[in-house]
Structure 1
């Protein structure tokens, strides 16, 4: 297998933790990957992605899969973006700064930023775009992270001021989120289905969950980005079809290659496999408000009933590491490396069943390969390993299409995945805070929620580390998240496509900003 392993660059967030102001222009990524000395304009990028749904919509509040992440970042800019060093860099914003207590943040917008119809970006556009996710009836996945905002106001056309309910040293990271691409204000909100954005590409064709065609803006205000003339994004759900399309030259980039046959890609002289560490994690959420998962001993029994090492080796083929039932990756700041690693232990699982008053357990696990790469195989392995603990798992395979609309958040025990978040606060707030729309385990823990609020404004690094460490322990021991593994970011691409020497490793594909950052070799 021919593999290009990109070295990990550690995050540098202590400036935010110390309450320092962050200022500067958008980051210009270095060139030089694959022998390329500088980006050049031209060519077409064809992308084959595993995810995408017929229910996909241009409404940013509905974005929940990679098909829309790639499209959104290409067409709409966010205020900040995650740089290769893990920091939040200004993007549509020119600069930002915090008050001494990190409870007031001032963002200054770029003077040259405009929409594809020529209209300049204003503070009202930003305010309307953010408020779109904050309404009482909003179901947006970013809504819990915006709940901390108590006020937004404009200071002229180019300055937006955010007042928070308390200090938040990580607040700029929120605005990298794929939901928060800026739209034009209509005076009383935004048109969520408008195709007009500030990004480097415009939409020529949009077929939800099927195909998107993009065209480069020759007048893109962000210099040094958006190099392809055209981009085509295709939903290719079948992994074999996706890999064949790449090897046959029908597409240039694919996600989620099949680890079992990934060596076939490496044998092709025109294909390169790329992998790096990431906070991506695979999860089997249990609804803690639904029997039998409302009993912590049942949850613990299931956690001890899965062979994580076997999953990493047999399903991920080594492209990952065992999980410990909490979502903070070992590469992230505030990772608690003192936690005892949970391991496959059928006898301990039986012990927890006994504490729950059970001698055996019958459960149904809903899954589909769209949940994560190898989800069905993982579920079958889980079924086999759990038998030794007197746990009988019925693997209920669901259709790939519409899985995240029809199964996720609805079935009490299912497969899921998270791309991770750049900070512990963002990860915990999005998926573990009581009442969060994407709290996929329906879990609530009073001590955890108190710590979440206390840690957010804490400027002392050691104290903050203690709090996030305790929160990881609580999630591991009490939560409904069974996280068997963290996965590497893995994709495959034609050697005709070039990319920077340093990538943003928050997610794969240059944190899904590859369309505006990569170019034709």
Structure 2
């Protein structure tokens, strides 16, 4: 079968209108991420039954239940199986309800929001979900001293209060038109409240579609359907879900071909065309804002000199990397994290490889030749080590010697990311630029992986969040993307398409969410067996 090449689509530079955002249910602006290539649309109506077996990449023995420190793909998938959020990104990449059934900005400047909660939601141990649980869960990330990666997203919230047992009101110090989107962030699970105001997270109890029966970090996780799930008429079609950590891409491919699993989260792109020919296997190819970053610590030599950062940015040949590492399944990046499929994408002049400019900036930084080290593991991306080796070859004529350090997969997120000054990281798209920028580029954010600080960027971040005029907001986000590109400490070589695989008896709707693997990590309750 021939592969359909996705078109170079671009969304408008402005995002959803203020009126639609405030109404609670506007499109996320990500574009309709359709299964492309070899994917076949589902035709049969959903039915209940069966054990859904999934091979998941990027699992670690350090995985745990704390929603504040969720990092690996395995735990992102697990959280969406056992836990619920106030809102979700739907299979058509729009904002939809989860625990919150409706929401509205109750002040015109979007400084106050009210969320209605499902009245029939229960935790896996039978406790009713109430406003108190939502408040405690959100405050867990807001608390002073919290290590949550979601804390920067919550900083504008000054108070969260109950409006009866099944409604909560968020008070903000300034307007935030993105708040409903923000609350779909994968850290912001709703957990049972404890008498001391904390939350009960350690045992894996949630109020999601399935409850955990077995959990071995870095090895497996098993679940059974939660009959008290508040959206039972919408999904949770499988009786059970069984996840197995398969970090090796060859192991994942073998498992889906032999039928030992029903789906895998990530396909080795170099063998994708061959896998597509395997009997009973379907590939889902989804354009997305998923991207690779190569963050450089801006407060550590030699990366504390912007000229060194620019020398590295000018030395990389992004198109060659897309062709040789992604086998064409992606688009070149421009050293900023907002993809063409996202709202407020700015069509900036594309930075191309320019070895003369790389030499110029290296010389300006006081170097004729410079050696640096980059840390990587193929669990981040199949072929990530080869990508770094190719980068090293590309950069050598510019006077840059890049040593590639292949780190152990186990503990990569705890021992390498945010610890080593130059490494490789994989990021999923966030539904809005504010969420992406607040988590990874804002000064002081726990996940500011490059330690970048730019006063103008931080000023614009605050202004754009509160701006309800789309045109002005688009201008601000365009300038922020430019600052990332030209001053930031992060190389973004490409945006990749999500490639997962499933057996042909696993059915889903025509559209698949692009935000995380397997339908935004919600295939477990959206999909079914034929």
Task: Tell me the TM-score range normalised by the shorter chain.
Answer: over 0.9
Q: Summarize the Cα distance change of 1:13–1:107 in structure 2 as closer, same or farther, 3 Å threshold.
A: farther
The Cα of 1:4 is off from its aligned counterpart by 8.1
CA pair 10-181 structure 1, distance change in 2 beyond 3 A: farther
- The CA deviation string for residues 126-159 of structure 1, in whole angstroms up to 9 with x for no partner, is 0111111122222111111011111111111111
Q: Give the counterpart of 1:477 among 483, 486, 492.
A: 486
Per mean C-alpha deviation after superposition, the further-off stretch among 226-235 and 5-14 is 5-14
Larger deviation, residues 143-152 vs 86-95: 86-95
Matches within 5 A, 1:170-189: 170-188=178-196, 189=198
User: What SS is found at the alignment partner of 2:396?
Assistant: helix
Paired with 1:284 and 1:196, the residues of 2 have a C-alpha distance of: 36
Distance in 1, Cα, partners of 2:286 & 2:214: 32
Q: Give unpaired runs (5+ residues) of structure 2.
A: 27-33
Alignment of 1:38-53 (within 5 A): 38-53=45-60
Out of 15, 22, 25, the position equivalent to 2:24 is 22
* Selected match of 1:88 from 88, 95, 119: 95
**Residue in 1 aligned with 2:31?**
none
Gaps of 5+ in 1: 25-29
Q: Deviations over 1:409-448 (max 9, x none)?
A: 0000001111021001111111000000000000000000
Match of 1:179, SS? coil
TM-score when scaled to structure 1? Answer: 0.95
What does the per-residue CA deviation read over 1:294-352, in whole Å, with 9 as the maximum and x for residues that have no partner?
A: 00000000001111111100000011011000000001111111x11111111110011
Aligned position for 1:325 = 335
* Cα distance change, pair 360–202 in 1 and its aligned pair in 2 (3 A): same
Q: Alignment partner of 1:377: what SS? A: helix
* d(CA) in 1 for partners of 2:432, 2:65: 27
Aligned to 1:27: none
CA distance in 2, matches of 1:235, 1:350: 44
Partner of 1:354: 363
Of residues 120, 139, 146, the one that matches 2:154 is: 146
Q: 2:235: which partner in 1?
A: 225
Q: Find the aligned partners of 1:262 and 1:503 in 2 and give their Cα distance.
A: 19
Match of 1:212 in 2: 221
SS at match of 1:462: helix
**Contact 2:91–2:520 (8 Å) recurs in 1:** no
Structure 2 residue aligned with 1:393: 402
* Corresponding residue to 1:105 among 82, 105, 113: 113
Alpha-carbon distance, 1:175 to partner: 1.1
Aligned residue among 308, 319, 343 for 2:318: 308
Q: 1:216: Cα distance to partner? A: 1.0
Q: Give the RMSD, CA atoms, in angstroms.
A: 2.0
Whether the 8 Å CA contact 1:227–1:518 is kept in 2: the answer is: yes
Q: Pick closer, same or farther for the CA change 1:425–1:335 going to 2, 3 Å.
A: same
Identify the residue that residue 128 of structure 2 maps to in structure 1: 120
1:367 to 364, 367, 376: 376
Q: Deviations over 1:197-256 (max 9, x none)?
A: 111111010011210001112343211210111111111111111101110111111122
3-state SS in 2 of match to 1:240: helix
1:70 CA displacement: 1.1
Counterpart secondary structure, 1:381 = helix
Per mean C-alpha deviation after superposition, the further-off stretch among 497-506 and 280-289 is 497-506
Misfit runs of 4+, over 6 Å? 4-12
Q: Within 1, Cα distance between the matches of 2:424 and 2:54? A: 25
Go from structure 1 to structure 2 and tell me whether the alpha carbon gap of 1:367 and 1:148 turns closer, same or farther (over 3 Å shift). same
What is the match of residue 389 of structure 2? 380
Separation of aligned partners in 2, 1:413 and 1:494: 38
* Aligned-partner Cα distance in 2 for 1:384–1:480: 21
User: Could you state the TM-score of these two structures normalised by the residue count of structure 2?
Assistant: 0.93
